[in-house]
Chain A
């Protein structure tokens, strides 16, 4: 079995679980065991309260009124931007664009950065393990510009082939778009090496950081990425808000991708002039409450510390890997040496949906399906997998419950 990893700064799990109201509820007569964090993590009271407090006491439109509430809302909104800047060590708040989430961020880059620059013969490089949100925006761009999408292969462990990647980078490559961490497999890419190789060749880099931000410290200046995107709801924040980090020199040269209020300095029927960065890319009234929630989620993560979160999640990953591989007929899908805290698996003769139903009847929430990564499913020859993904509040006891429920499902269905 697994050795217990003794951490000098172990998490106070009881206290942390107490921070998340939903974790005390029951589902189908059992305590909720929430193992679907890679889809959406739960929110602590600190986030829920910050959003409610904004709505109760400070809600108004931003960047517009001279009245007190508008100034307070603007301060909260811009304060959240500053928190996001520090969270990923961006050089300036002008580089932090609030978006709906990672998907919107990638679409923004494709349309505003990619579309004016790319033409027939140009190439965009992605890997085989990408989420649909880092495939489809590029396919749309290819249709619009005549550019070509190139795919870097993965191996049977779910590791992206770095040599094949280097070989793929050619004189026509304009954009490299890669996940920092795979949502379907958990693979952590050595993204710094991938970025460095692209930069040496003058290729723009776009990083889908949706699965990385909750688990790893991210420093965009150290990474040297041109674009880095993440979503609040994967990191204990609300849905509908995320961040696109963009290198200021690139952002300054990009045309707006949506027009409207807040993104202009002046408008006349003869033409309009664009607002300063990053507001040029935030047309319309933004998700102010969402940004406040993101800021509170960042505070929460910082208070606990990435190192302690990572150490606890590594323990959960090791424990889950050992327990699940002990189940006859269970195959882990995604066995990269560097993995985030999730286990994706297939059980011989049992469809993931049946597993999901049995687990749900025991109060265990997992994701079943293709995880918006159909090329990954195809690669491993499965229609779908079951995925248990862990967060800072999960426990070994919950993994035991998962293990026991899987044995019950196998007894019942096989």
Chain B
């Protein structure tokens, strides 16, 4: 059990100073993620233009893993199409569950690879992605990964 693998510098940095935090007045889509057992709560505002995610912001409270994951995700999907985002989510999911070691397309998201050794924390890292999916699908129901 290697804590340094979980709390890599990139994770700690994105938890301390989350990117794209806040609300987005121009949002076209939004969704909420809620893991009540952990106390992780997330609100995601997304601005979609045509088929492309132009911008997104998140707010809420959560652990370092869920906050850093949301922050990293917000950087990674900006400017991507829906299809590219779905593909990226697939790659992140495979990495988190240990199905693959990760791939070059993950970029900074690869910092989350250590989560796979902590099965109880996979739900923290994946909450933002499921919430993004719900937002893009126009779902009004809050998402949970518990």
Pairwise interchain contact B3-A357, C-beta atoms closer than 8 A: yes
**Does B38 belong to the interface (CB within 8 Å)?**
yes
B15 interface contact, C-beta 8 A = yes
Comparing B59-67, B82-90, B104-112, B130-138, the segment that makes contact with chain A is B59-67
B-facing residues in A369-401 (Cβ within 8 Å) = 369-370, 374, 377, 382-384
Tell which of A29, A349, A383 has the most Cβ of chain B within 10 Å: A383
**A412, B7: Cα distance in complex, Å:** 8
Interface size class of B (residues with CB under 8 A): 20 to 34
A-B contact count (CB 8 A): 57
CB proximity to B under 8 Å, residues A328-375: 349-354, 357-358, 360-361, 368-370, 374
Known: A369-B38, A370-B39, A377-B39. A383 touches B61 (CB 8 A): yes
Q: How far is the CB of A39 from chain B (nearest CB, A)?
A: 13
Cα–Cα distance between A354 and B115 once the two chains are bound (Å): 12
B1 x A413 contact (CB < 8 A)? no
The smallest C-beta distance from B1 to any residue of chain A, in angstroms, reads 5
Instruction: Tell me, in angstroms, the Cα distance from A361 to B121 when the chains sit together.
Output: 14
Cβ of A68: which chain B residues have Cβ within 8 Å of it?
none
Q: In the complex the two chains form, is A384's CB within 8 Å of B15's CB?
A: no
Does A28 belong to the interface (CB within 8 Å)? Answer: yes
Q: What distance in Å separates the Cβ of A377 from its nearest Cβ neighbour in chain B?
A: 7
> Contact: B39 with A357, CB < 8 Å?
no
- A412 — which chain B residues lie within 8 A by C-beta? 3, 7, 12
> Which residues of B from 19 to 45 have beta carbons under 8 Å from A?
36-41
Q: Which of B40, B41, B61, B63 has the most CB of A within 10 A?
A: B63
- How far in angstroms is the closest Cβ of chain B from A176? 28
Let me know if A383 and B39 touch, CB within 8 A: yes
Is the beta-carbon distance between B118 and A357 smaller than 8 angstroms? Answer: yes
- Could you tell me if A351 and B39 are in contact, using CB atoms closer than 8 angstroms? yes
Say which residue of A353, A361, A382 sits within 8 Å of B124 (CB atoms): A353
Q: Cβ of A374: which chain B residues have Cβ within 8 Å of it? A: 36
Bound CA–CA A371/B117 (angstroms): 25
CB–CB A384/B1 < 8 A: no
CA–CA, A27 and B53, complex, Å: 45
Known contacts A353-B124, A354-B64, A357-B121; is-contact A413 B38 (Cβ 8 Å): no
B6 close to A (CB within 8 Å): yes
CB atoms of A384 and B39 under 8 A apart: yes
The answer for the CA separation of A357 and B63 in the assembled complex, in Å, is 11
Partner of B63, one of A29, A351, A377, A414: A351
How far is the CB of A133 from the nearest CB of chain B, in Å?
16
Complex Cα gap A369–B63 (Å)? 11
Contact of A413 among B12, B39, B118, B124 (CB under 8 A): B12
Pairwise interchain contact A354-B65, C-beta atoms closer than 8 A: yes
Question: A360–B1 Cα gap in the complex (Å)?
Answer: 10
Tell me the smallest distance from the CB of A414 to a CB of chain B, in Å: 8
Contact of A351 with B37 in the complex, beta carbons under 8 Å: no
Residue among A349, A358, A384, A414 making CB contact with B38, cutoff 8 Å? A384
Q: Which residues of A contact B1 (CB under 8 A)?
A: 28-29, 360-361
Residues of A bordering B, CB below 8 Å = 28-29, 349-354, 357-358, 360-361, 368-370, 374, 377, 382-384, 412-414
Known: A368-B38, A370-B36. 8 other contacts (CB 8 A): A351-B39, A353-B40, A369-B38, A370-B39, A374-B36, A383-B61, A384-B38, A412-B7
Nearest 8 A/B pairs, CB to CB: A383-B39, A384-B39, A351-B63, A353-B63, A354-B64, A28-B1, A354-B63, A361-B3
11 inter-chain pairs at a CB distance below 8 angstroms, sorted by A residue, are A350-B64, A351-B62, A353-B121, A369-B38, A370-B36, A383-B38, A383-B39, A383-B61, A384-B38, A384-B39, A413-B12
